[in-house]
């Protein structure tokens, strides 16, 4: 591959040389020893460490809460507050980091998030009381929300259309790894580690994420939006195989960005444009149902639900471990299928199983089966729900948000997407134990089954298929009024 001279690269953006030439990522001073595919996979994997931190830091409360409740003598309401504090921070972080990523770029925003992760987990581990712990988890939540907003966007903007689904779902898989690690710690280190150690140890992957982002490229789409075409060529060159791909993609990004820029005011009012409304309705609806389906509530409160229903502490913790393992395995399975089957089809196949599982789970709790020989049925129904939910709507929750919003409003829209997702999570998590007290565990499961059914109806009528389509093609369908699925 040839290397263009600096004076050629610095030509104005309307010159065809800049539009049509591929710039090698190598130079006399620096050589990239990785192939584009390997480099792209490496960049996606490093960025996805943020997902591991998200999963671990939200999931560790499941095992740690038993110790924290004992140490600080927490009521059920206080348990909800300590658990949900991280979600309040996540809402704030998801909104704030969108603005940061617009100003500083995707890469630097991920690094800031990594630093906040490290501060938050150390502060949590050093908390002298429940109020300090809640405040520390609020800070930690800022990083969780920021990671969920920026990392899927960063990966999606680096990835080619055919691989985008698989690569963005590395974030989901990393979340699953974090949740599983938290469950393993909560189950097998319950007596060896204090809850303070459980929190503080997450500073290690946070540091790895910060250092790992240093050599990675910036998003080429962000660079184009800042008119830094030379750097955009270099960044895209590192993750594409051919000159033809780079040439076409840079031209497509420029064309779409210039059109969006002419219509943009640079404010939140941009989201009110009628042609954008379908993307916002679908994206925010998916974000809400991803959490209203009950997945995080199950992860946070499985030990609490099962011990309240008569299970022993060990049985409840092992069940929580099974929940985490299923989440990871089915997320990986979804990753392998999502670019083949499609986002919409995969989700519509899986949601009915989640509804049936929750209905049966509600019956099992109503029959008080845990006290007798049928306790295994409760665990079976719980695991079945995790299979259908983790392998369906959880696979697309962050993926769809990284795909359907046009470049001109992507930072604001993905911030709102993440805020909606975390707000829904907060609503469900902060009311879960109160809902159980009001309706009983069985009644609560039926309520969550109804929410899953509503999610199915929404996706069937509203969500288009984005498999194999470039980000620019999806944006064009919005402008042409062909965004919604055809029946």
Q: What is the pTM of this model?
A: 0.73
Q: Where are the alpha helices (DSSP H) in 201-242?
A: 203-213, 220-225, 229-237
Our count of domains for the chain comes to 1
Separation CA 357–CA 325 (nearest Å) = 18
Q: Where are the alpha helices (DSSP H) in 48-75?
A: 49-72
| 18 domain-assigned | no
| 486 domain-assigned | no
Domain extent at residue 360: 48-216+264-480
| Secondary element (H or E) of residue 200 | helix 195-200
HSE, side-chain direction, 13 A CA sphere, residue 326: 23
Question: What's the CATH code of the domain at 328?
Answer: 1.20.1250.20
Q: What is the pLDDT of residue 109?
A: 95
| 26 domain-assigned | no
User: Could you read off the pLDDT of 73-110 as tens digits, one per residue?
Assistant: 878 778 778 877 888 888 888 888 888 888 899 999 99
| 340 domain-assigned | yes
Separation CA 54–CA 61 (nearest Å) = 12
| 344 domain-assigned | yes
User: Could you read off the pLDDT of 363-414 as tens digits, one per residue?
Assistant: 888 776 544 456 778 888 889 999 999 888 988 887 888 788 887 787 788 8
Q: Which residue has the higher pLDDT, 297 or 114?
A: 114
Let me know: does 276 contact 478? Beta carbons within 8 Å: yes
Average pLDDT, the chain: 82
pLDDT band for position 142 (cuts 50, 70, 90):
very high
Q: Where are the alpha helices (DSSP H) in 214-276?
A: 220-225, 229-237, 243-263
| 2 domain-assigned | no
CA separation, residue 116 to residues 102, 128, 261, 325 (Å): 19, 20, 32, 27
Separation CA 107–CA 213 (nearest Å) = 7
- Residue among 334, 419, 374 nearest 150 (CA): 419
- Residue among 275, 260, 253 nearest 479 (CA): 275
pLDDT band for position 204 (cuts 50, 70, 90):
very high
- Residue among 85, 142, 94, 137 nearest 426 (CA): 85
User: Could you read off the pLDDT of 407-465 as tens digits, one per residue?
Assistant: 778 778 888 888 888 888 888 877 877 787 888 888 888 999 999 999 999 999 999 98
| 121 domain-assigned | yes
User: Could you read off the pLDDT of 153-170 as tens digits, one per residue?
Assistant: 899 888 888 888 788 888
| Secondary element (H or E) of residue 337 | helix 313-341
| 29 domain-assigned | no
The single residue listed with the structure tokens 């795909």 is 403
> Minimum mean pLDDT among 216-225, 238-247, 254-263, 416-425: which range?
254-263
Q: What is the pLDDT of residue 412?
A: 82
Q: What is the pLDDT of residue 21?
A: 40
pLDDT at 286 over 90: yes
User: Could you read off the pLDDT of 306-342 as tens digits, one per residue?
Assistant: 776 677 777 777 887 888 889 889 888 887 888 888 8
For residue 238, count other CB atoms closer than 10 A to its CB. Answer: 22
Q: What is the pLDDT of residue 450?
A: 95
């Amino acid at each position: 591959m040839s290397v263009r001279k600096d004076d050629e690269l610095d030509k104005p953006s309307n010159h065809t040389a800049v539009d049509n030439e591929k710039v090698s990522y190598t130079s006399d001073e620096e050589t990239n020893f990785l192939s584009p595919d390997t480099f792209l996979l490496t960049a996606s994997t490093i960025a996805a460490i943020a997902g591991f931190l998200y999963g671990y830091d939200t999931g560790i409360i499941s095992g740690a809460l038993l110790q924290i409740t004992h140490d600080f003598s927490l009521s059920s309401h206080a348990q909800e507050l300590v658990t949900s504090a991280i979600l309040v921070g996540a809402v704030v972080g998801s909104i704030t980091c969108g603005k940061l990523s617009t100003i500083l770029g995707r890469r630097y925003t991920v690094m800031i998030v990594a630093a906040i992760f490290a501060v938050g987990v150390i502060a949590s581990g050093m908390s002298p009381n429940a109020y300090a712990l809640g405040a520390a988890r609020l800070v930690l939540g800022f990083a969780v929300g920021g990671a969920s907003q920026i990392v899927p966007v960063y990966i999606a903007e680096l990835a080619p259309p055919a691989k985008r689904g698989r690569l963005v779902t590395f974030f989901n898989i990393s979340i699953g790894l974090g949740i599983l690690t938290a469950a393993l710690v909560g189950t097998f280190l319950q007596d060896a580690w204090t809850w303070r150690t459980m929190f503080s140890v997450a500073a290690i992957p946070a540091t790895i994420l910060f250092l790992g982002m240093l050599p990675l490229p910036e998003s080429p789409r962000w660079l184009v939006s800042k008119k830094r075409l030379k750097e955009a060529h270099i960044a895209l060159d590192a993750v594409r195989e051919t000159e033809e791909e780079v040439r076409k993609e840079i031209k497509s990004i420029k064309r779409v960005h210039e059109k969006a820029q002419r219509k943009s005011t640079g404010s939140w009012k941009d989201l009110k444009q009628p042609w954008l409304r379908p993307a916002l309705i679908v994206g925010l609806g998916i974000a809400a149902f991803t959490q209203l389906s009950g997945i995080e509530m199950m992860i946070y409160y499985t030990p609490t639900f099962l011990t309240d229903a008569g299970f022993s502490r060990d049985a409840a913790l092992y069940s929580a471990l099974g929940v985490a393992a299923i989440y990871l395995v089915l997320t990986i399975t979804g990753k392998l299928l999502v670019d083949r089957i499609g986002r919409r089809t995969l989700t519509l196949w899986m949601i009915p199983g989640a509804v049936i599982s929750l209905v049966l789970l509600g019956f099992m709790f109503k029959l008080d089966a845990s006290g007798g020989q049928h306790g295994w049925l409760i665990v079976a129904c719980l695991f079945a729900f995790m299979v259908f939910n983790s392998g369906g709507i959880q696979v697309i929750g962050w993926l769809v948000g990284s795909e359907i919003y046009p470049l001109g409003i992507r930072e604001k829209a993905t911030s709102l997407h993440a805020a909606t997702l975390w707000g829904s999570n907060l609503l469900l998590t902060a009311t879960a134990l109160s809902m159980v007290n009001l309706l009983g565990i069985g009644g609560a499961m039926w309520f969550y089954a109804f929410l899953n059914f509503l999610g199915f109806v929404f996706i069937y009528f509203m969500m288009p298929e984005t498999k194999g389509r470039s980000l620019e093609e999806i944006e064009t369908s919005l402008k042409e009024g062909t965004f919604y699925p055809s029946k």
